[in-house]
Structure 1
Amino acid sequence: MIPAHVPENRIVNFDIFNPPGVEDDYFAAWKTLLQGPGLVWTTANGGHWIAARGDVVRNLWNDSARLSNQCLAVTPGLGEVMQFIPLQQDGAEHKAFRMAVMKGLASRYVVALEPRVVEIAGELIANLRPRGSCDFVAEFAEVLPLNIFLSLIDVPLEDRPRLRQLGVQLTRPDGSMTVEGLKQAADDYLWPFIQKRMAEPGDDLFSHILSEPVMGRGWTEDEARRMCRNLLFGGLDTVAAMFGMVALHLALNPQDQRLLREQPDLIPAAADELMRRYPTVAVSRNAVTDIEVDGVTICKGDLVYLPSVLHNLDPASFDAPEEVRFDRDLTPIRHTTMGVGAHRCVGAGLARMEVIVFLREWLSQMPEFRLDLTQPVRMKGGNVGACITLPLVW
């Protein structure tokens, strides 16, 4: 049922998990919304608003006073069940817990992790190069960042396939698991590690965070579960998705491969620009008060979906946004790939470092690569869109 406050001319039928044409081109599927008003109401997934213009996406993403993060996603019941810390918190509580997480992810730890990223990237590349082809997603993009994250929290690397499936069910659910089942699977896996970290802190990410006091006290077991649950799901999908999109761009644009091979000092700027050009993360917010936006009213309790793709690819936000320009001025970084405001991704520094290392190591050790035209590239929508198959040859 469409709420009475939703104007008829704002109603669309747009399923964020399966936009029309998403299997072939995630970005083209989403860009169809840029042709209409800045805020639309979709009848899919129980009904919710979608911010459909760059300024509306960014302004609402940054509006933590009137929009809460407690809903987590448009998936019914997901927010109520997951109760992530700090992602689903607001105000002073969010600030206190986020500070502890940020200290655990301090830049010195990210810098110390870089040699391990280089090592794993080198091992993967050495195994792939003699073959002359690969499915980049399954054999690199879903391996490197997940292995790094599992190393960071000090859990067995052989658990990667099992945990990867949990991450996919959160961001691109297929109905095979209930929300409650997904949470329970994560908690059952994490609890032995949490108990050990709280009793005997080590040098892993969970230990670093749980040893940081929150509001002058230690973490409760419930808070520790909710935080570790948040970081587990946060680390399982987003960087892998970004790797896939970056590799797809380079496979389609050999001139950019050549430029970065010849001028590797451009790689950090290239990483920033490619992350801007290929955003696939979206967040959901629920209004805690009525908000007037783009000539309509978001009423208290309404859910609003904020896709980074519709900010980063809006011509009103960036000049020629679909062009990749390694000399594009992104200082201060204004794209929304990693979010904006109080809830900007706590792992943004780690993600950027991983993309830079991937570009540097892959381009220095692999010959020029291209798409394998005998096999299709496939994409999927969701709270984190991604390539699910990316066949490459060299």
Structure 2
Amino acid sequence: MYNYKLSLEYAQQQDQEDPLNSYRSQFHLPKDNLGNPLIYMTGNSLGLQPKTTKTAVNQELEDWANLGVEGHFEAKNPWLPYHEFLTESMAHVVGAKPIEVIVMNTLTANLHFMMVSFYQPTKERYKILIESDAFPSDKYAVESQLRHHGYDDKDGVVLWKPRPGEDLLRYEDLETILEEQGDQIALIMIGGINYYTGQFFDLKRITNLGHKSGCKVGFDCAHGAGNVALNLHDSGADFAVWCTYKYLNAGPGSLAGCFVHERHANNKALNRFTGWWSHNKKTRFNMRGEFDQLPGAEGWQLSNPPILSMAAIKASLDIFSKVGIENLVNKSKKLTAYFEYLLKQLGDDTISIITPSNPDERGCQLSIQVKNADKVLHDKLTKTGVISDWREPDVIRCAPVPLYNSFEDVYRLVEKLKGILNE
């Protein structure tokens, strides 16, 4: 698809021709002790800080200092409806309608709140299906939900596993599980992109399979939001959750996002935990009236939101709105394919990439296995000025994020790796 070349000059030329190249300068790049930029490849763990974030947060601090409680109405960005300033741009990032999206809480908290509504176990149908190597917090959450409802947390979990000797999951095996156990499974809860392999699942295909078997379907899109075109509305999923501190660059531990499909928007019969921020905005401050639930994803809110965190999210989403998720995905595919091309020049006897080779089945992350290597290799790579991510037992995860990583970044990374291997 691309006619890549093996030279620094080629990489630099690609950066010059990249229509998104200017966005790199809008982020703070980590530097070494001499002030040289490090090669940062861990946006899949914590995204870099936009330079506009400090201004956005300081605006709220100034309004708090100058206005006190009146900031809820008189701040430059009034606090009372602040979450609404994020809705439309976040909906576009994840491919949803505004009524389907809300920014609230944190990732695993949102997952629990969604399972309160969409995990509806019965004596015959109580199991939860997850991928065998799901992110640990997802596994812990579903196990605790099973215990909460009085079920065994091992018997109640159904694992979708790779075949022996393989790393990636096959849809045929999911189909077999549902044919054999579908009438016992209440909920399918899959990571939209697997954190370890980088495999991007076909959300619509999984949803259709789950619904056909009578299961509710949800996704943890922590590694997908801001990275790939999730198209959550079109997927038909019942719900999805994601964080904002990875590809969405909103800061460590920042608030998370939540999607609830619009077909559930006005279903007040759905069990849920509620709070005053899920109550009708027009009567919320009457204080003594009966609960009147908001429609859509807003109806799952509990408390008034932390404005300082939302200010950081807003600063980042403003960048996404200017760039467009479609343009980001286009660059990501080209940049990641270039990274893959360079790694393959090291030889199949040295490097194995467990992430799918099909660009439509991955985001920007490549999970790399270096044969006969251990964490010592990763430590050496770190000392050369590369910030990457080691995952046991033998994977280095690297994510060239299209907003701030360059073709030169991936070229220099592979050159450093080659130098270590040739020692």
TM-score by length of 2: 0.27
- Which structure is higher in RCO with an 8 Å CA cutoff and minimum separation 6? 1
TM-score by length of 1: 0.29
CA radius of gyration, larger in: 2
The structure with the largest helix share of the pair is 1
